Amino acid sequence: MADVTLMKTPAETGLVQAFESAKTLLPGNAESRAKAFEQFNLRGLPHRRVEEFKYTDLRALMREAAPFAGTPSAVQAKEALAGAKALAGVSALQVPFVNGHFMRDAVRFDALPEGVEIVPLAEALASGHDWLARLSPIPWAADNPVYQLNTSFMADGVMLRIAGPVETPIHLRFVTSETSAVATATRVLVLVEDRASVTLLETHESGNGTGHQPNDVVEIIAGDETNVRHVRMNAEGDQALALSTLAVKMGTEAQLTSINVVVGSAVSRHQVFANFDGENARAQINGATMVKGRQHADSTLVVEHAAPNCESRELFKTVIDDEATGVFQGKIIVPHHAQKTDGRMMSAALLLADGGSMNNKPELEIFADDVQCAHGATCGQLDEDLLFYLMARGLPKKEAESLLVQAFLGEAIEFVENDTVRDALTATVEGWLRARS
Amino acid sequence: MPAVQETIDQVRSIDVDQYKYGFETEVEMEKAPKGLSEDVIRFISAKKGEPEWMLQWRLDAYKRWLTMKEPNWARVSYDKIRYNDIYYYAAPKNNPAPKSLDEVDPEILKTYEKLGIPLREQEILAGVEPRNRVAVDAVFDSVSVATTFKEELKKAGVIFMPISEAIREYPDLVRQYLGSVVPVTDNFFATLNSAVFTDGSFVYVPPGVRCPMELSTYFRINEKNTGQFERTLIIADKGSYVSYLEGCTAPKRDENQLHAAVVELVALDDAEIKYSTVQNWYPGDAEGRGGIYNFVTKRGDCRGRNSVITWTQVETGSAITWKYPSCILRGDNSRGEFYSIAVSNGMQQVDSGTKMIHLGKNTTSRIISKGIAAGKSENTYRGLVSAHRKATGARNFTNCDSLLIGNQCGAHTVPYIESKNASAVFEHEATTSKISEDQMFYCLQRGLSEEEATALIVNGFVKDVLQQLPMEFAVEAQKLISISLEGSVG
């Protein structure tokens, strides 16, 4: 291949301009932002020749860079939150964001559940808060262009500290309500102290018809013997280009469950970077993706078993209708010393219509000789025999299909302990299936 | 869990310091000037007495190659290859064309004797059952020194000869198919090969003919500072069948030598090609000095309906292996199979796998790959299974296991599974029982464990091919196949 110099795309030029004009206004350490942006800009938006973005060519998918959203007015914020529907029925401590800005007035700081501390990120950045030192817990994530963009532009977010067991779920609710396309960059840091436990809900929604460009990063540092339950839902509008990253570092005997449910966005890419830092930790990382029309949904996962005796389970289910595209890229890394690792990764995809496509890449990188690692990937259509069985019992075809799809996705969702949350996720699946028929 | 002792012993027995074929043959050689230039290509072409179109083909490839960059995506690392320090042509003097074996340099004959390759037809006839006869094309550095059973094959209508002869004798056939599976521009090493290829085998099996014996080519690199660039082209015409075996060895040296081959297979309607390789190039010593860089492009085109291409490979040699024997399943109902055992020891690096590209309707493919890494080696499986939009009813089953012996080595799996057709069913590594439930049930019922049954079913097939290998190391290859992958990952 000959050497080619890539021309900057309008989106890349737009990002450079946006950074130039925003860098003096953004809070916090300008140097680290500049460094992150420089690293990003060196390579530009990742494209299909970049291995990690082989199936999600951001250079092609992101035509223009939307301007970053300003702080909404009180009225606008109130309206936006009142209209928010994702996981609305679940009683939880609400931590709302509108247009990427933390709505501190909506949180009663004097009545937080015991063991919960919340620090607004914009303020923390401006004042140089102690916890900032714990941002970016996974050093190798800093090489990821999506993460670099977030580091360059992050304007707001929160830092949470969880000390002790917290019963009430904490709901990070992100709503974008602008009528024209805007970009947001939020960062959430969750410090889970030793022996603490917490349920984190994270929902992202916006209206149809506008090409918003959210880029969110949630970082969780889970101490020893912690239990973190994380549920994320992408219910963005049908034109959104949603980039998101979950970075988790786990201490000894930490337990983590995380699920990402995708129904929204024209283009979405969810990246999970998990790092086992202490022995005997366990993580279950799941995904349930439903795409239709011309949607494109990418789930990318890197699990680093940096400590021995840890267990990870990854289960990603993708249902593809119409001409949509699903992507799963998973990688389990087991270094020399991480003996007795037990990792299992599975991706299964259902194609409901001709014209859809699925790209699977379940990768293993193993250097230790006494480990169990398995990966699997399947894709295909619904089982004719099963459909026939159901239809023979009088179910119309669509209903039979729905039932089978529910069962298929249910496997990824059923581990959610909180009944109301699980029911809400199941209802989301049902809603998606209803809209289809 | 870690590997079982028996496996460790078996892998140890083929460790890099156990290499048996590292001797060198003293033969007077004739070489092209060192380095690569248009003149060298003209020299090679003239030596082979090629027609003008072939020379032009080479020169075009060379021009293209000059604009290309060496790929670096494989998980291997090596010092930069200095392409101008290599001799691109080396042949024993008195060549070309010794009319019979009596005219071939006795040293060369001794070499093949030592390697256990039968070149004298009467000798082969003496000790072996006729149905086990194998026709051999022996390639020594840049030229073919002998091809056996040519006459008998000719009676059946099968053409089996060095490709340089085929270019002269069957130019139309060669011209029609050469580069039609692996285009000149395919990749860096294939383009280099197109410019400088020196010898290799050409096989044409006419319609409806079942090739009366196994065909095989034995490649030997002997000379210092040379590269071997062979080109193999096999065409199975409608309804024909051919089984082809390939073996290779090289002397022990502290320098690295480049081997960049291209293999093209074309299977027309209802034809079947079985292509087996026992790759035993010199792997370098325990410290990683020397060894062959094995950068080859192998691809089969199931061009016709109901055609079948099977790749079987046993990989134990080479310092670096970079190869992905692939199948383009173009014809409806065509089938591609890939069976591979790759064992890496010492400082070896292997990045190998396959591509199954489903284009036609009801095409099926199967991939069984076993990688065993020991010492300080790196063993990567990289494979692609893809279904085109029109590949209705495509079906793939993939199973790739890796096993590590010791914690200084690495085993990696990088599968790409791309489906653009809803009715395509791809399973990567689902459960072992999916191999064939009936066979599995049969074995389990007779008291075998699932592991044993899987081994039996997978190996049963591979053994079938390997039992017929004419090479001495076929025995080793068979041993390898039976290695238990208990404790494997992936």
Write down the ipTM of this complex.
Answer: 0.91
pLDDT for B464: 44
**pLDDT reported for residue B480:** 57
Which range, of A81-85, B117-121, B370-374, averages the lowest pLDDT? B117-121
What is the average per-residue pLDDT within B153-177? 91
| Model pLDDT, residue B171 | 93
Mutual orientation of helices A145-153 and A30-43 as an angle, nearest 10°? 150
Interface test with B, best of A357, A371, A382, A385 (most B CBs within 10 A): A357
User: How far apart, in whole angstroms, are the C-alpha atoms of residue B219 and residue B248?
Assistant: 5
pLDDT interval class at B191 (50, 70, 90): very high
Least confidently predicted of A340-354, A361-375, B111-125, B285-299: B111-125
Assess whether pLDDT exceeds 70 at residue B75.
yes
- The pLDDT of residue B431 is above 60: no
Percent of chain A with pLDDT over 90: 91
Q: How far is Cα A13 from Cα A3, in angstroms, rounded to an integer?
A: 22
pLDDT band at B214 (very low <50, low <70, confident <90, very high): confident
Q: How far is A160 from A162, CA to CA, in rounded Å?
A: 6
pLDDT at A2 over 60: no
How does residue B472 score in pLDDT terms, banded at 50, 70 and 90?
very low
- Of A291, A393, A296, residue with least CA distance to A352: A291
Tokens of B450: 């699932």
pLDDT value of residue B369 = 85
Nearest 5°: the CA angle B195, B197, B199 is 160
d(C-alpha A364, C-alpha A301), whole Å: 12
Instruction: Return the sign of the alpha-carbon dihedral for residues A4, A242, A79, A126.
Output: negative
Task: Answer yes or no: is pLDDT of A388 > 50.
Answer: yes
Number of domain units in chain B: 1
Greater confidence (B334 vs B459) lies with B334
**Which range is least confidently modeled, A294-298, A361-365, B151-155, B451-455?**
B451-455
> What is the per-residue pLDDT for A338?
93
Say if residue B124's pLDDT is above 70. no
Residue B433: is its pLDDT beyond 80?
A: no
DSSP at B454: H
Q: Does A51 score more than 60 pLDDT?
A: yes
pLDDT at B246: 85
Task: Read off the DSSP letter of residue B17.
Answer: G
pLDDT of res. A432: 96
Indicate if the pLDDT at residue A247 is higher than 90.
yes
Q: What is the mean pLDDT of residues A36-40?
A: 96
Cβ distance A358 to B430 less than 8 Å, yes or no, reads no
Q: Which residue of B has its CA nearest to A372?
A: B489
Chain A hits for B423, CB-CB cut-off 8 Å, are 354, 380-381
Contacts of B407 in chain A (CB under 8 A): 336-337, 339, 367-370
Task: Tell me phi and psi for residue B476, to 5 degrees.
Answer: -65, -40
Question: Would you call A358 and B418 a contact, using CB atoms and an 8 Å cutoff?
Answer: yes
Quote the pLDDT of residue B455: 62
The confidence score (pLDDT) of residue A173 equals 97
Judged against a pLDDT cut of 70, whether residue B421 lies above it is answered with: yes
Greater confidence, B93 or A240? A240
A146 pLDDT above the threshold of 60: yes
Residue B490 lies in a domain: no
pLDDT for residue B271: 96
A31: CB partners within 8 A, 6+ apart: none
Q: What angle do CA B303, B334, B412 make, to 5 degrees?
A: 100
> Is residue A256 within a helix (H) or strand (E), and if so which, with residue range?
strand A255-262
Chain A closest-CA separation from residue B371 CA (Å): 12
Q: In 3-state terms, chain A is what percent helix, strand and coil (to 5)?
A: 25, 40, 35
pLDDT score of B288: 83
Collect all residues of chain B within an 8 Å Cβ-Cβ radius of residue A355: 389, 422
Mean predicted confidence (pLDDT) in B430-448: 65
Q: What is the pLDDT of residues B324-373, one digit of tens each?
A: 999 999 999 999 999 888 888 889 999 999 999 999 999 999 888 878 88
pLDDT at A374 over 50: yes
Task: Identify the residue whose tokens are 């239709």.
Answer: A292
How high is the pLDDT of residue A115? 95
Q: What is the mean pLDDT of residues B195-207?
A: 91
* Residue of B421, B423, B485, B488 to mutate, interface with A, max A Cβ within 10 Å: B421
Q: Which residue of A has its CA nearest to B399?
A: A376
Q: What is the mean pLDDT of residues B102-124?
A: 68
DSSP state of A107: S
* Residues of chain A positioned with their CB less than 8 A from the CB of B418: 357-360
Q: Catalogue the E-assigned strands of B148-240.
A: 159-162, 201-205, 214-220, 231-236
- pLDDT band for position B217 (50/70/90)? confident
**Coil vs helix vs strand at B455:** helix
In this prediction, residue B131 has a pLDDT band, given cuts at 50, 70 and 90, of very low
A279 pLDDT more than 90: yes
Percent over 90 (pLDDT), chain B: 38
Judged against a pLDDT cut of 80, whether residue B452 lies above it is answered with no
pLDDT over threshold 90, residue A437: no
Q: What is the pLDDT of residue A390?
A: 95
Chain centroid to Cα B271, Å, comes to 20
Q: Give the structural domain span for B52.
A: 2-485
Give the residue-averaged pLDDT of A304-319: 96
Q: Nearest-CA residue of chain B relative to A338?
A: B407
> B372 to chain A: which residues are within 8 Å by CB?
none
The pLDDT-based confidence of B212 (bands split at 50, 70, 90) is: confident
Residues on chain A touching B411 (C-beta within 8 angstroms): 364, 366
Whether A353 and chain B come into contact, CB under 8 Å, resolves to yes
Lowest mean pLDDT among A362-376, A423-437, B124-138, B271-285: B124-138
Average pLDDT over residues B419-423: 94
* Calpha distance A371→A341 (Å, rounded): 5
pLDDT higher than 60, residue A308: yes
3 state DSSP class of A88: coil
Instruction: Give the residue, A307 or B103, on which the prediction is more confident.
Output: A307
Q: How far apart are CA B288 and CA B348, in angstroms?
A: 7
**A405 or B317, which is more confident?**
A405
Check whether B115 has a pLDDT greater than 80: no
How many A/B residue pairs have CB atoms within 8 Å? 127
Of A351, A364, A378, the CB nearest to B490: A364
Residue B151 lies in a domain: yes
Distance from CA of A71 to the nearest CA of B (A): 42
Give the mean model confidence (pLDDT) for residues B290-298.
Answer: 91
- Judge whether residue B449 has pLDDT over 50: yes
CA distance A410 to B463: 43
* Averaged confidence pLDDT in chain B: 82
Bridge partner residues of B311 (DSSP): B275, B338
Buried b (16+ CB within 10 A) or exposed e, B330-339: bbbbbbbbbb
Confidence label for B144 from pLDDT (cuts 50, 70 and 90) = confident
What is the token pair recorded at B149?
A: 């059973």
Q: What CA–CA distance (Å, rounded) separates B421 from A381?
A: 9
Among B66, B69, B428, the residue to mutate for chain A (most A Cβ within 10 A): B428
Cβ–Cβ under 8 Å, residues B279 and B306: no
Is B60 an interface residue toward A (CB < 8 Å)?
A: no
Written as one string, the DSSP assignment of A321-332 is -TT-EEEEEEEE
In this structure, the strands spanning A267-276 and A296-304 are: parallel
